[in-house]
A and B are shown apart, each in its own frame.
Chain A
């Protein structure tokens, strides 16, 4: 095979690409950098450019790609391209036909050079195509703009006539291969060797003489390029400042992340405010004001009490920190006074008035007002309290909390701080003499607020959380708003996941079907629509449940197997899934599953219908022990009869690991049975009796799972 030799020995170089932008959304930077890194690795590979380390770093104003050890030439391409079948490629005289010539032409090779090869059992003509490697800058000039254009952002924009779309406007591009500018253009901007420093500390342009010195150049221009370094400056700096006043910063992870990605040269600064403002406001309001609105960290003392101080993070240097401090202090004070004003406004109102105002607050489209929603939640909560068999005092707590749970939506504080819904309701409930249980349930009914977040701690809180979500799901599905594809504007999947998580955590043995049967009854709808809505709700919740189990490392076939015999009782489903998951590593498992599969198949052949929903309703086939004749069937029956009571007891008390241990005793007898016994005996009485025995055996397995769905 002829390989074109390059004139010069391939050398390596360092690539630098810096995309200078206006401030990108902080949350979009890391994903963009990850795409850049992955995309560059793949694109270089595809372009036959050998590369060493490919790295993407950056800030909200620059996405930076560096590649070390990048080959300065593309590898040559030698490829065999398959053409038409040999029988149509040559005529009787062995001359290339039109088809062969057309193919050769399309590949840029002479028809005489085509060869015939056997590929996948057929004979085809093959063209050997060679493409000489090109210098890296030429290749990169095409590759890099494509790479950048392919970056995706949650939302893109246009900003100029060229129509290029990106997260924010691109304002400069630097592209260097060692000391040479790579000729390319991105978003109408020609790449150069110019970068821009920190917006306020080094606003002028700086020259990058060669790719190797990029980090030094931007470093001198006051850019802290490393994410870790920015994080350390913020977190360590905040801790050091807080320590000065004997406290420690509340480093909210989301805020820390936002600050890491919204600064190029973070410098923390300590500020204080009047202690009376802390005293006058619920601590959570102070913290949310500082964190969400002012992007500052709160500070707590040794006992965890909020102090009248904060750490702001300036994107800039150390000079004139005093004016930055007084500026932030002034704004924090104004914000806290504003919050106090809302608190005082709310103190003039009460739950009755707030609840009344809910009649003017729209719920999601088609579901009336939030007041309507509350009425439904209360009704369903009443049923749920009964179904869950809770104490009289819990029932009263649940009912009162259900009545008040959305009232805070119309308070001034929640209108100002929507993220405090529930929290404010809980605080006001306590202030107005509601019981601690009612206050807790109001607060907790929004839990979990995100995947993996805190779950309700009290039983009424958990029941209210389930109820609220069940009514939302039922209503939204009835209104035709069920999620599709990646579209879930009303957060129904999240609601379903939350519902499943609460049921799992609290271990409430509530039938999902009965829950949704009741939930749809709180809406005016034809019975048929209600019935369909229940099925849809169950489907959505089950999908979340399965996702939850999969997140726990439980294999999909295990999940399917346990769900197939009933997915209505969430804690039960989870207990079966966990036990089966562990049991699957046992040596008996393979024989057991194969054995069950044979039982299952023969019963299906005999017209048996396995259906989780109607399992209880079916009359079992008649079985008579005295009709057993073969030793192997007598043995199987004996084994089954021995384990049956213990298995039933274990399963009834949800000790599924024990139940599985009992079932394991059936593995050998089943195996022997199918070896020795002809189920489909000519005598219909014997045949029916053997099927009846197998039905009982299968019933034992199906207390736990449909083992036929396990992939062994």
Chain B
């Protein structure tokens, strides 16, 4: 058996992925600074995959899912986790090979493991988005969601993008062989737990016990109204930020147990309608800009 080399720590993983994908022509974006539940919600994905323009981007997106919080007590569950997100538009023919090469860059010897692409079609009804692809399994562990987007914001995509979403914690736990996410080595001498456990505890308490439903509800209504107003102007990007706020507030209301079933369906459909409106408005702007460009050029 080959000697196991020292596993990459958490920040070395993102550095390695950054270097790998930068070489493949990706713009290294930063995480979006509005709370989101998944890297797909970042405008660099949700908006930039619309329309015909080629685009390659990679970024780490902290993703907040209030209902998944466990006060930092469950070694496998987090209120906030980190997704490493790559968008390749259009999808290159050799995208699977590229992806596998990125795993090797993380120190994985593929011939020492069992790597599988198992059917898993992705869908985000609140975004009017769906795609087709796989979960990638490494020795039975899901490590990446691999998706060819087909629709975004309810719109058929002109150009098909591939989205790669690496679950950084799971990958790191596998590579570092840690039974608890909080024991992961983030940097030499610094654990994931030392950076994040208190945040998990406090945000779980907030999400499950102390979020004020009246405030959350009022904020939802305010951001929703704002999104509508901004779409009228149209200021699509600020409007989209407001939609993201709504989406996160909706999740908080859910984890707080503050919305009934009927309300839940209603708030979800209101958020979806706004997300779709943003996608359409963005695409209109894009089309206008492109035709301007072709006239000018």
Contacts and interface: CB of A to CB of B under 8 A. Distances in A.
Interface residues of A, number: 49
A172 to B, nearest CB: 10
Given A361-B261, A362-B261, A331 B111 contact: no
Given A23-B117, A23-B118, A328-B140, A319 B132 contact: no
A503 interface: no
B264 A362 contact: yes
Interface string B242-283: 000000000000000100110011000000000000000000
B132 A360 contact: no
Interface in B131-148: 131-132, 134, 137-141, 148
Contact of B113 (A161, A327, A341): A327
A708 interface: no
A332 B140 CA distance: 8
Contacts of B91: 159-160, 169
Contacts of B96: 22
24 contacts: A23-B116, A23-B117, A26-B118, A158-B160, A160-B93, A168-B132, A262-B116, A296-B140, A312-B140, A314-B114, A315-B114, A319-B111, A320-B109, A323-B1, A323-B109, A330-B139, A334-B76, A338-B74, A341-B77, A359-B260, A360-B260, A360-B261, A363-B261, A369-B261
Contacts of B2: 320
B1 A322 contact: yes
Interface in A163-214: 168-169, 171, 199-200
Given A159-B91, A319-B111, A337-B179, A262 B118 contact: yes
B204 interface: no
Contact of A334 (B116, B131, B173): B173
A316 interface: yes
B119 A368 contact: no
Interface in B187-238: none
B265 A365 contact: yes
Given A171-B93, A324-B139, 4 more contacts: A323-B1, A334-B141, A337-B179, A362-B261
B112 interface: yes
B124 interface: no
Given A23-B134, A158-B160, A322-B1, A331 B114 contact: no
Of the listed residues B77, B91, B132, B150, the one surrounded by the most CB atoms of chain A closer than 10 A to its CB is: B132
B110 interface: yes
B29 interface: no
A585 to B, nearest CB: 49
Given A296-B140, A327-B139, A369-B261, A341 B148 contact: no
A160 B90 contact: yes
B115 interface: yes
A157 interface: yes
B121 interface: yes
B121 A155 contact: yes
B284 interface: no
A338 B78 CA distance: 13
Contacts, number: 117
B177 A330 contact: yes
B25 interface: no
B7 to A, nearest CB: 13
Contact of A320 (B76, B111, B132): B111
A620 B179 CA distance: 81
Contacts of B113: 320, 323-324, 327
A168 B132 CA distance: 8
B75 interface: yes
Interface of A: 22-27, 155, 157-161, 168-169, 171, 199-200, 262, 293-296, 312, 314-316, 319-320, 322-324, 327-328, 330-334, 337-338, 341, 359-363, 365, 368-369
A323 B261 contact: no
B159 interface: yes
Contacts of B150: 157-158
9 closest A-B pairs by beta carbon, nearest first, are A327-B139, A25-B119, A314-B114, A23-B117, A157-B132, A362-B261, A323-B112, A320-B112, A294-B140
A331 B174 contact: yes
Nearest to A172: B93
A327 B261 contact: no
B148 A324 contact: no
Nearest to B139: A327
Given A168-B132, A341-B74, A360-B261, A161 B159 contact: yes
A22 B261 contact: no
B168 to A, nearest CB: 16
Contact of B114 (A168, A324, A332): A324
Interface in B67-106: 74-77, 90-91, 93, 96
B215 to A, nearest CB: 20
A247 to B, nearest CB: 20
Contacts of B159: 161
Contacts of A160: 90-91, 93, 160
A617 B151 CA distance: 60
A169 B137 CA distance: 19
Contact of B119 (A23, A296, A365): A23
B90 A315 contact: no
Nearest to B52: A161
B294 to A, nearest CB: 19
A267 to B, nearest CB: 9
Contacts of B177: 330
Contacts of B93: 160, 169, 171
B174 A157 contact: no
Nearest to B136: A23
A200 B139 contact: no
A460 to B, nearest CB: 29
Given A158-B160, A169-B148, A319-B111, A360 B90 contact: no
Contacts of A161: 90, 159
Nearest to B137: A295
Contact of A341 (B76, B90, B114): B76
A98 B134 CA distance: 62
Given A334-B76, A334-B173, A362 B132 contact: no
A158 B118 CA distance: 18
Interface string B158-180: 01100000000000011001010
B254 to A, nearest CB: 9
Contacts of A362: 261, 264-265
A26 B119 contact: yes
Nearest to A365: B265
A375 to B, nearest CB: 14
